[in-house]
Amino acid sequence: MAEAIWWRHLKGDPTRFLFDGNEPGVEWRVLVELLGRGMDSPAVERALAGVRERGTAAAILARQEGVGLWGSPGAVGRRWSGSVWQFLAATWFGADPRDPRLERAATALLGVLSPATGGFAPSRDSQRSACFTAGVCAALVRCGFGRHPRVQEAVAWLAARGGEGGWSCPDLRHLVSGACPHAAVWALKTVVESNDSDRRRLAPLATAAATWLVERGLLLEGPAPPGWRRFGYPCLGQSDMLEALATLARWGYPPVASVRAALGVVLARQDEGGRWLVERATPLGEGVGTVSRWLTLEALVAVATYGEALAAG
């Protein structure tokens, strides 16, 4: 990786770990997000070909059934075996967004997710949820479904219910001052994953989400949802402070004091090899104590964006 001021914040060089061949989903994202390679570069193309055959995303997609789902269409939101969560996990574990299996899954999910209008609910018997809607939309947008009418309707529903006070949530465990931090992270992530023209159109949604997080100091102190200050991957059903910081970095939010403070917390958690360990068990994720390529990628995205500001200030 290229020499830069931010790189000097690391205790070691994680390059060999990230490119050890075990997780090509990490490799193509490192190439694109940290090394500035285009999606059509030979190295990225090789990694994208590899992710269809090996690694965590490939294992999840190999279990997909012919219609594009995992199990019964009536149980798509069942934790954590339902198709929604399998789709989200495959997406965030670096599956090729152009993989036909992801396209089949997205198409099938949009045909069975409830309700038929507005935001999404995990099941027919549950309420619409801002965090569930935002999490699903972010993955669908990454897979190229941002212009799908049902996705646009769900994003509009989300935008209409957010603002300075944040998003309400039917899960009381999520709430901080009456709002859901997970919804804010994933609403911002939905915009981050959008193409450039949609990013501009959805900028007010991103601004509302980012402002809510930053004005509360990324919940580094005071009330926070369970697990918020411990890092895990993938963030299914709940987000955490590292995902919030990395998403702010991908959006290009400036390095204000609360962002720099969060980066300091992240840097303090690295090991001697410049890598990050799993601190919180997550559904379909790695075990606590595992040295994680995925968390290392998330942390490096934040360090690459904000490290120079930390060094300067």
Instruction: Give the model confidence (pLDDT) of 87-104 as tens digits.
Output: 999 999 999 999 999 999
What span, in angstroms and rounded, lies between the C-alpha atoms of 153 and 147?
10
Distance (Å, whole) CA 207 – CA 164: 10
DSSP-derived 3-state class of residue 264:
helix
pLDDT of residue 6: 78
Q: Tokens representing 24?
A: 């090509």
204-246 tens-digit pLDDT? 999 999 999 999 999 999 999 999 999 999 999 999 999 999 9
pLDDT(5) > 80: no
User: Which pLDDT band holds residue 1 (cuts at 50, 70, 90)?
Assistant: very low
The sign of the CA dihedral 15, 43, 193, 182 is: negative
The residue written with tokens 């798509």 in the block is 76
For 14-39, write each residue's pLDDT tens digit. 999 999 999 999 999 999 999 999 99
Q: For residue 2, what pLDDT is reported?
A: 42
pLDDT score recorded for residue 83: 98
pLDDT, average across residues 37-58: 97
Intra-chain end-to-end CA distance of the chain, in Å: 24
Angle at which helix 241-251 crosses helix 257-268, to 10 degrees, equals 130
Q: What share of the chain is helix, strand, coil (3-state, %, to 5)?
A: 55, 5, 45
Q: Write out pLDDT tens, residues 138-159.
A: 999 999 999 999 999 999 999 9
Beta bridge partners, 116, equal none
Residue 252: CB atoms within 10 A of its CB come to 11
Categorize the per-residue pLDDT at 199 as very low, low, confident or very high, splitting at 50, 70 and 90: very high
Q: CA gyration radius for the chain?
A: 18
Q: Length of the chain, please? A: 313
pLDDT value at residue 214: 98
Task: Identify the three-state secondary structure at position 266.
Answer: helix
DSSP reduced 3-state for 179: strand
Percent of the residues in the chain that have a pLDDT greater than 70, as a whole number: 98
Nearest to 112 by CA among 88, 81, 76: 76
Fill in the amino acid letter for 244: A
Quote the pLDDT of residue 30. Answer: 97
The tokens 């931090």 sit on which residue? 181
* Residue that has been written with the tokens 């954590």 in this structure: 80
**Identity of residue 252:** G
- pLDDT reported for residue 164: 81
pLDDT of residue 100: 97
Choice between 256 and 310, residue whose per-residue pLDDT is larger: 256
Which two tokens mark 21?
């061949």
Q: In angstroms, what CA-CA distances link 80 with 76, 83, 126, 255, 282? A: 9, 8, 16, 36, 10
Structure tokens at 276: 């990050």
